Amino acid sequence: MATGPLQTPNVQAWAIDRYRIADALEARLEAERERIGLWLPVALGAGIAAWFALPAAAHWIGLLLLLAGGALGGLLLGWQARLGRSVVIACAAMAVGLLLIWARAIWVAAPVLAAPVVTSFPAVVERVEALSAKGQVRILALPQRRADLPPRVRLTLSGEQAGDLAGGETIGVRARLMPPPTASVPGGYDFAQRAWFDRIGAVGTVLGEVSRAPGRSATDPPLRTRLSAHIHAQVDGSEGGIAAALVTGDRGAIAEADEEAMRRSGLAHLLSISGLHVTAVVGFAMLLTMRLLALSRRLALAGHVLPLAAAAGALAGGGYTLLAGAEVPTLRSFIAALLVLAAFLMGREALTLRLVAAGALIVLLWRPESLAGPSFQLSFAAVTAIIALHESRRMRAFLERRDEAWPFRAGRGIAGLLITGLVVEVALAPIALFHFHKAGLYGALANVIAIPLTTFVIMPFEALALLFDGIGLGAPFWWVTEQALRLLLGLAHGVADAPGAVATLPSFPPRGFGLAVFGGLWILLWQTRWRHAGFVPLAIGVATLAIQPRPDLLVTGDGRHIATALPDGTYALLRDRAGDYIRDTMSEAAGVDTPLATLADLDHVECNRDFCRWNQGEDSARRIILASRGRDRIEGMDMAAACAAADVVISDRWLPRECVARWLTIDRDSLAETGGLALYLGETPKAVAALKAGDGHPWRLPQQLSGNDEAVPRDAPAR
């Protein structure tokens, strides 16, 4: 067969097209040469995200080999070419990110409790966190002389049990401990993952009194604790809780209803110390220092005022960060503030995307696991969207100074705030929907009032109140602070209660979320016309929400709680005594914002002491559901007929082997492998599990400890 001559033109045409594509990409990258460096933290983060997304070591190694091949391909394109160099660096950065988070997960490895246990043990208190609004105290404790317990546990106790407990004390407790909980339902919050990186091997509740070590000497509580107590003494209720949160990061005194209103109105970011708060502290410190140092002619003429003011701002920001507990979000904001000050002193434009990229790179190298948390994603997405918007030509032209009357100038400024708020809300919506299954729709409008109120009234007057409290003259400033905080809470409740204030959706598929994030970054980081190509993956990612059905049934990992969809779009719970946490979890996973009904109260549900039975769906998709809710033992032969007549049987206990449903039988054994479940009972029913088969992440397969009760006397703590 003489096929060679016929194939040669095709091969030549393919080679020509390949070179044309390479030349076109090279030209695009040359036009964007100032922005290519912004993708370095993105590539590093992509490697970290791939480690979280891929299930096992074999997949991680396979990806590393694939990235090595990609880097070699980039070298074949030529290191001198911008395209080849970019491919090599991107593949190398992804590989570094994957290896970094893998090494970090191994480095922080600590034993985890295998099963719930009630036991007594001595412990050293590492940290105390007051939850005043709930009347509780949460502590991190280090068990002593108990090789069968994890090295660090998190305990919850009442305020009466805790008393004046302080860090560093040695105590004896009796507690009910359990392993760090995984996600209750698919798409829910997986505390086990966070606990792994925090080296927390168990969580629990203290039973009975807490005994103290003999001869315990009274020690002063930390400055942060004393400052929070002082603020609460000046301002009562949730207003005082917000005031303390702004200074020390202590949010324990904020009532749940008020905190939920802040979340629904898009103002929850004001409660966590982040870029807004650190920037305000650094800015006010710099302004005050510059005003004072400018009084010295010698310093002013020598040009020392600005460097000294920047140093004062850095010291103020560092002190504020330490006072607030030096949590990861606060440290991240402080690092960004230091980079801004450095750029300011070097005479460069301070607020640029290069600054954001540098800050993200530092944080990812320092704490790579923070990428998976909503705090990192929300804060960097917001800052990136703001800076990218204000770097655009149209926004600069709209906001540039011009000779016009002050009403027009003020209106232009307000319009700029609204546009910025809307862009930020759009940028944050996919992240909020992925992590919390809800997003506020009026946050842009609320923040136009809330951010200036917090930055220019609440924080300055609170700082003045604390300053003048030293001479007993802080009362007037506290009054102004309290009134402003009441206005802030009133705004939050007004916006949260408005019709359509919150958009709720069921679980955001991870692949769709990844496409949406990639598309958003493509739009924000590039400057030329090819940025518009990012709308394609963004639209595809967001479209997955539109086609994502709501689950017909939700089953928690312990099998005790079941939420079923009703024809009117609401949901009902099997157990009417379910607590607020379970109700919130089920509502978020179902993507609803209405109260959950009680299943037994519905007309189409038949319930007795042991079981509830009902029909789910309509026509050909109708399924019969049988769910247990009692604790009495029932013989297998007595259950066989009822189970065989049901399509799905759900129980939080072990079911006898005679109980077999037509499609799916769920009991304690199966839930131990799958975790919580979301069931979709359409023409082709399917079940989505919270725990994925073959998941090899270290928090799924940790070293486990039995936690045997050794009868350690409660009144004999370690010395």
User: What is the arithmetic mean of pLDDT over 226-230?
Assistant: 83
Q: Which residues make beta-bridge pairs with 327?
A: none
Q: What is the pLDDT of residue 679?
A: 93
pLDDT at 557 over 80: yes
pLDDT at 630 over 80: no
User: What is the arithmetic mean of pLDDT over 122-127?
Assistant: 90
Chain segment 323-342, per-residue pLDDT in tens: 776 666 677 677 777 777 87
Q: What is the pLDDT of residue 717?
A: 40
Higher pLDDT, 714 or 308: 308
* One CATH from 3.40.50, 2.40.50, 2.60.40, 1.20.272 for 112-226: 2.40.50
Residue pair 368/104 in contact by the 8 Å Cβ criterion: yes
- SS3 (DSSP) at 274: coil
Burial of 620: CB neighbours in 10 Å, binned 0-12, 13-18, 19+: exposed
The Cα 320–Cα 274 span in angstroms is: 11
pLDDT at 221 over 70: no
pLDDT at 237 over 90: no
Closest by alpha carbon to 283, among 216, 356, 337, 207? 337
Chain segment 126-178, per-residue pLDDT in tens: 888 888 778 888 999 999 988 889 999 999 998 888 887 888 888 999 999 99
Structure-token pair, residue 626 = 């049988």
Chain segment 68-87, per-residue pLDDT in tens: 999 998 898 888 888 888 99
Of 201-210, 273-282, 373-382, which gets the smallest average pLDDT? 273-282
Q: Which band of pLDDT confidence, cut at 50, 70 and 90, is reported for residue 18?
A: low
Q: What is the pLDDT of residue 207?
A: 92
Higher pLDDT, 327 or 13: 327
pLDDT at 387 over 60: yes
Chain segment 649-662, per-residue pLDDT in tens: 999 888 888 888 99
Q: What is the pLDDT of residue 121?
A: 92
Q: What is the pLDDT of residue 487?
A: 94
Q: What is the pLDDT of residue 545?
A: 80
Q: Which band of pLDDT confidence, cut at 50, 70 and 90, is reported for residue 351?
A: low
- According to DSSP, the β-strands at 170-178 and 117-131 are antiparallel
Q: What is the pLDDT of residue 371?
A: 92
Q: Who contacts 515 (Cβ-Cβ below 8 Å, separation ≥6)? A: 537, 538, 540, 541, 544
- According to DSSP, the β-strands at 202-212 and 170-178 are antiparallel
Q: What is the pLDDT of residue 715?
A: 41
Which of 114-118, 573-577, 579-583 shows the highest mean pLDDT? 114-118
Q: What is the pLDDT of residue 256?
A: 85
pLDDT at 219 over 90: no
Closest by alpha carbon to 631, among 686, 671, 575, 672? 575
Q: Which band of pLDDT confidence, cut at 50, 70 and 90, is reported for residue 515?
A: very high
What average pLDDT does the structure give for the chain? 84
Q: What is the pLDDT of residue 712?
A: 41
Q: What is the pLDDT of residue 13?
A: 58
User: What is the arithmetic mean of pLDDT over 449-454?
Assistant: 85
Give percent above pLDDT 90 in the chain.
Answer: 28
User: What is the arithmetic mean of pLDDT over 480-505?
Assistant: 89
pLDDT at 441 over 80: no
